[in-house]
Amino acid sequence: MTATPESEPHRHEHPASGPSHDARDPAVAPASAAVWSASVLENVPIARDTYRLRLAAPGLAKFIRPGQFAMVRPGPEGASDPLLGRPFALYDVVLDGAGEPAAVDLVYLVVGRGTGALAGRRPGERLSVWGPLGNGFGAPPRGDVVFVAGGLGQTPFLALGRWWMGRMAYGGERIARPISAAPLMLYGVRSEPLLAGLDDFRSAGIAVEVATDDGSAGHHGYVTDLLAARLERGPLPARVIGCGPAPMLAALSRLTSKYEVPCEVSLENHMACGFGACFSCVAPIRQPNGSADLRRVCVEGPIFPADAVDWSGMHGQ
Ligand SMILES: Cc1cc2nc3c(=O)[nH]c(=O)nc-3n(C[C@H](O)[C@H](O)[C@H](O)COP(=O)(O)OP(=O)(O)OC[C@H]3O[C@@H](n4cnc5c(N)ncnc54)[C@H](O)[C@@H]3O)c2cc1C
Ligand code: FES
């Protein structure tokens, strides 16, 4: 796959048209997915080892929706090392002076070679980016919403909160029946310096409660403790949405099923291609007949109902 100028995206071969998944076969990349040559506008630290990357990519910005992701090749365009792209959730879409989608923001934590190389990118450099990928979130429920984020799992929730509150359109769609109460985000990290983007969430109208493993900020303990206390106290939210490491999501799934609260999770399985070709991202997903079948997280996810995931088979993630 070769990157082309932003104005001339290379589209994946795909039978459907329009920005949504093919209704006949959910296991394909969205029809709007393309490879974009995106110019780096900013790549700035926002917390310890954590950066916000702003890419000029109007085509991607126009189509991408909350919960979808993009694959970013970490080296400058034309460099083949690292060869594989890395997946990052949409953090937000930036509008130009005319109110048109112009750029996308991604927030990433440096954990290895790819994200380390990405941290070295400078404004003006061009990167190969492909997306939008994945299913993304659907319409909001009627009632309260709680987001539960672990580690870098907060990244999908800024755009989702803004979208569901009716504050911004994404993928050309504005929510017809926005949620009436501001979402609450429960956000857990190992230590305070890793908290990223708190001001972004609060200024978007999303309430944030923090937990840290070492007690350096907020609740001393797991973020799921905060949710357990809230569910115990009531009233129960209409939906819980989680993003973070698989053990945290498994705990979330157990907790929400105990209180019979609908829960969706965004899985962060390792990915190589991002559009359904390599099967490196599979997760065990329960089928209507009760059996678990391996499904590609990049095309059928990353968003799944928590009770559809066979968490006993997710230990490698
Ligand atoms: C749909 C999706 C959305 C994501 N969104 C974000 C985001 O918004 N921000 C962000 O910082 N990260 C996000 N990630 C995770 C991110 O893609 C990985 O951290 C990144 O690919 C690591 O690349 P690397 O080359 O730096 O690390 P590697 O050198 O490949 O790995 C370094 C270490 O991190 C572990 N690792 C690598 N990938 C993952 C993963 N997916 N899950 C758990 N452990 C991993 C490896 O096992 C190893 O221990 C997302 C992943 C997915 C699938
Ligand atoms: S990452 Fe290749 S099939 Fe999902």
Tell me if 187 is assigned to some domain.
yes
Q: What is the mean pLDDT of the segment spanning 211-227?
A: 98
Q: Quick check: CB of 278 below 6 Å from ligand 2?
A: yes
Q: Ligand 1, residue 271: give the atom nearest the CA.
A: 53
Same domain (yes/no): 150, 244:
yes
Q: Taking a C-beta distance cutoff of 8 angstroms, is the pair 217, 210 a contact? A: yes
Confidence of residue 135 (pLDDT cuts 50, 70, 90): very high
**Confidence at residue 81, expressed as pLDDT on a 0 to 100 scale:** 83
Diameter of the chain by CA atoms? 55
Tell me if 139 is assigned to some domain.
no
Would the pLDDT of 5 be above 80?
no
Count of beta carbons in the 10 Å neighbourhood of residue 210: 18
Is 256 annotated in a binding site? The answer is no
Would the pLDDT of 202 be above 50?
yes
pLDDT tens for 223-244 read 999 999 999 999 999 999 999 9
Domain count for the chain, please give it.
Answer: 2
**Confidence at residue 157, expressed as pLDDT on a 0 to 100 scale:** 98
Confidence of residue 16 (pLDDT cuts 50, 70, 90): very low
pLDDT tens for 153-198 read 999 999 999 999 999 999 999 999 999 999 999 999 999 999 999 9
What are 26's strand-pairing partners?
none
Is 263 annotated in a binding site? The answer is no
Same domain (yes/no): 160, 293:
yes
Distance between CA atoms of residues 307 and 277, nearest Å? 26
**CA geometry: angle at 191 spanning 194 and 244, to 5°?**
65
Same domain (yes/no): 110, 222:
no
Residue where one domain finishes, among candidates 133, 155, 185: 133
Q: Ligand 2, residue 276: give the atom nearest the CA.
A: 3
Distance 43 CA to ligand 1 centre (A): 18
State percent of the chain over pLDDT 70: 91
Tell me if 2 is assigned to some domain.
no
Is 281 annotated in a binding site? The answer is yes
Tell me if 4 is assigned to some domain.
no
Q: What CATH number does the domain containing 273 carry?
A: 3.40.50.80
Residues flanking ligand 1, CB < 6 Å: 69, 86-89, 107-109, 111-116, 152, 155, 268-271, 302
Distance 270 CA to ligand 1 centre (A): 6
Q: What CATH number does the domain containing 57 carry?
A: 2.40.30.10
Same domain (yes/no): 100, 238:
no
What is the number of the ligand closest to the CA of 297? 2
Same domain (yes/no): 179, 308:
yes
**Confidence at residue 217, expressed as pLDDT on a 0 to 100 scale:** 98
Tell me if 1 is assigned to some domain.
no
Its domain, for residue 63, covers: 10-133
Is 273 annotated in a binding site? The answer is yes
Q: What is the mean pLDDT of the segment spanning 16-36?
A: 61
**Confidence at residue 79, expressed as pLDDT on a 0 to 100 scale:** 82
Distance between CA atoms of residues 86 and 71, nearest Å? 5
Q: Ligand 1, residue 108: give the atom nearest the CA.
A: 11
Q: Which residue has the tokens 């109902």?
A: 305
Least confident of 8-22, 97-111, 163-177: 8-22
Q: What is the mean pLDDT of the segment spanning 19-40?
A: 72
What are 266's strand-pairing partners?
243, 303
Tell me if 225 is assigned to some domain.
yes
Determine which residue's CA is closest to atom 25 belonging to ligand 1.
Answer: 114
Helix/strand/coil for 225: helix
Distance between CA atoms of residues 269 and 282, nearest Å? 8
**Closest Cα to residue 65, out of 133, 136, 139, 138?**
136
Same domain (yes/no): 210, 244:
yes
